[in-house]
Amino acid sequence: MSQLNDTAIGAKVDAAVTASEKVGLLRVLGPAHVWALGVGIVLVGEYMGWNFAVGKGGAYAALIACWFAGLLYTCVAMIDSEVTSTVAAAGGQYTQAKHIIGPLMAFNVGLYLVFAYTMLEAANAITVGFLIDTVAAMTGHEGLDQRPFIILAIMFLAWLNYRGVLATLTFSLVITAVAFSAILVLFVATSPVFGDSPWRHADLVTDLPYGWLGVLAAMHFGLWFYLGIEGTTQAAEEVRSPARALPFGTLAGIMTLLIAATLTWYVCVGLMPWEYLGQSGVPLFDAARLSGSMGLMVLLGIGTMFATLASANGCINDASRAWFAMGRDHYLPAWFGAVHPVYRTPYRSIIFLVPIALIFALGAPLDQVITFSILSGLLTYTFMPLNIILFRRKWPLDTIKRGYVHPFHPLPALALLCLCAVAFFAIFLGYGSQLVAMLSFYIVVSLWFHFRRYRYVHRAAQFTMPWPKPRGY
């Protein structure tokens, strides 16, 4: 009798979960949107933030950091593509962790994603304000109040996200393509192809001012060249063909970024003394100023604006999906797991995260906000090797059909783990207290989740993939 009751209760629970998911997210996106989501979030890293790596260790240190970070993100993209081509659900790495490692890891990963993207969104909004202020100062309007522009940028993009994912990511696709083209145009236009080039690498590029320790330190902001590419997985529940579109969009994205990062470094260090470049707020715009061409200056100004908007746009999209997925699973109040009946977007999550982004955009310095975002991203990357090793162990290749199988396992996982250790050390060199404060935060919320919040979570209902039982359980 008791068993019958349990079965009946179980059926009710399943029915309730199914009913709450009835109005689902729309499957309308293609590989180009996935590319736009990934590159759109990250490309702003070429327009601002990466250059702090030059300040940390000099021009060559930034290049070494750019390539090592590129290696780190190639491992991330390979690992992510394999797991995501199988776990096609909103929440990305959060959903992966839930199925592969366990609820507490998933809760932490969900928070990493939300904070990495929300902080990145705040950093983008700060840059929008800074850029408008710079342009105003150049046209004789000193002392512009940046805050209205910061608020307007966040509110406009949140509204766009609220209204529908297809319009949002099509908007991202267009402005990302313009911003990427602007970097290519700057490179070609300043190169010796069209006569006299303003590049002065021989005179401007110096030795390592801090030695090899500076190279390690530069890894901190080297991550900024690519931070957010892993966000492509957040679209898993909204792409028409996840097994094909997600690996294609993600890997095409990382290749685009490797090219853009190297070109950006080359142009900028050939135009600016490293001491200036290391502290510049808008380095590509400054590079265009030094080219002496008004056309390039306008183009890179527009490119910077578009890159920041595309990034903030993608961040709102990704952070809200992660928050929504956690609400749907009752890791957070279930109220956040609602989908808009008309626009089919996680509208409550989108609205809820707006004031949080504003608090950080209006109240914290840019480097701190960037560091907060990088730290959250780094914690996600450290989780990924553990995730893929356990994934292959619990479900070997012959047990689940994957849309993509990454080669040389476990070498990418081990390489990623080593590079994460280097990045932790790099952050420790300048921002050790923030690192410890943030980890303390995650330890406290983990205890809160395990001992308090988890009681509101259904057990079996969390496992939604049609997979066989994991080996060893």
Q: How far is the CB of 271 from another protein (least distance, A)?
A: 7
Tokens of 306: 């578009």
Q: Choose between 160 and 419: whose C-beta lies nearer to another protein.
A: 419
Q: Choose between 175 and 354: whose C-beta lies nearer to another protein.
A: 354
DSSP assignment string, 33-70: HHHHHHHHHHTHHHHTTTTHHHHHH-HHHHHHHHHHHH
Tokens of 157: 């993009």
Q: Choose between 248 and 383: whose C-beta lies nearer to another protein.
A: 383
Q: How far is the CB of 245 from another protein (least distance, A)?
A: 28
Count of residues in the chain? 473
d(CA 335, CA 338): 6
Number of C-beta neighbours around residue 169 at 10 A: 29
Q: Choose between 170 and 446: whose C-beta lies nearer to another protein.
A: 446
Q: Choose between 90 and 105: whose C-beta lies nearer to another protein.
A: 105
Q: How far is the CB of 399 from another protein (least distance, A)?
A: 14
d(CA 281, CA 49): 7
Q: Choose between 343 and 454: whose C-beta lies nearer to another protein.
A: 454
Q: How far is the CB of 428 from another protein (least distance, A)?
A: 5
Helix, strand or coil, per DSSP, at residue 239: strand
Tokens of 412: 């990418």
Q: Choose between 38 and 385: whose C-beta lies nearer to another protein.
A: 385
Q: How far is the CB of 255 from another protein (least distance, A)?
A: 31
* 3-state percent helix, strand, coil for the chain, nearest multiple of 5: 75, 0, 25
Q: How far is the CB of 458 from another protein (least distance, A)?
A: 6
118 and 353 Cβ atoms separated by less than 8 Å: yes
Tokens of 436: 């410890």
Q: How far is the CB of 445 from another protein (least distance, A)?
A: 6
- Return all residues near 180 (Cβ < 8 A) that are at least 6 apart: 39, 43, 256, 260
d(CA 150, CA 155): 9
